[in-house]
Structure 1
Amino acid sequence: MIFDLLVQRIGGAASHVRTKIMLLKEKIAYIMRMTSSLNEGGTAVFRPSSSGLVFLRGTVMKTYLVKQKFRFGGEKFDIKDDRGNIDYQVEGSFLKIPKTFTIYDDKGEVVSQIQKTVLTVLPQFEIQLRNGSSFYIRKKFTFLRDKYEFDNLGLRIEGNIWDLEFRLLDAQGQVIAEISKELLHLMSTYQVVVYEDAYADLVISLCVAIDYVEALESSS
């Protein structure tokens, strides 16, 4: 009720604030329900969806904290979970054109590769996943602000990609992951919450690719 009153008072002038309030509302409800489930001796997990909170069994939720190292010229850096464990490593190629960034898992196996496509009129980036699939980030021609589209991603995007305040949903409207800025860190850091472990590689690869594209655009 309190959250609904806040949203009404804010109105349409600050949509990003309203989005943050609604996400906070969902997260609080999620924590309360998960705690209730654990108190009853169960292992159920609740996660937000486009139509409310959905009951799932056996779902593993994981949180990552990612620092925006590309802005500071980072060529190699770690991606850790919220307990400080290194789950992914990002490494840039040396003396290779176009430059390629490779993401490795905690076993040293390749998760994905991010590469800028050459010989295209507008910038295009290909992200190849280890399962053999690929998705693309393409810049669209506009007279106003820069705009990008995502091809073959297989997920719906809600929110602001470039402000790192968005979430990913599957075809059924289930929230797969939520990405949000961490305001209490000195270095630019964002939080990635993945509700289904099977999507973790794709979500992390997408976030790193967005960060890379944004860093290239800001330096050009």
Structure 2
Amino acid sequence: MVSVFEVVLQITFWNPFILFSIGVPAALLNAIIFIGIKTFRRSSSTYYIVGQSLSDVSVLLILLLQIVPSTPSSVSSIACKLMLFFLQVTVSIAVSFLCLSAFDRWACTSQSARIRQLSSIRVARRVFPIPFILWSLVNIPFLVYCDLVPPTFACWFTNDLFMRIGTLFFVSNSHCSSSSDCSYTVWIVDIS
């Protein structure tokens, strides 16, 4: 007889693969549709939707890499730093594009003509690179203050102050001892 614990372990193990196999094709189709259809290309929201779709694909790829046991993030210091950095950057970029898309839809329906001017392809082209630049700069401390921490050599923070601040927003599965017991957790630390 199968226990509930075994079922939960199986779901925990296979869930990321299922999300990856559904999420990546969906995000890529989303980007292809918005780029391919001429009507959508004339909308300023297309820039933000395509940017979010590509960021979502990147997030799913990084999460899948973290789950695979042969990934060198727990072996190489550079891989550890880059994995955490790119995970933080891509998640932040995806959320930024979601917010920009919502702002664009709000601006195009505004009663004010000045606000409606913010919903244009010209503005979208200028705003599009800002999330990439902003979040790459904001997340540089992950490259500096994250490394393999002994005795378990888990990829985690090396600076106490950055750990107290960084864990407020950090989504991680670095507490996994093997791929079968991984679950994603939002770590929240009271810094008072």
More strand per residue: 1
Structure with bigger RCO (C-alpha 8 Å, 6+ apart): 2
The alignment's TM-score, normalised by the length of structure 1, stands at 0.30
More helix per residue: 2
The alignment's TM-score, normalised by the length of structure 2, stands at 0.33
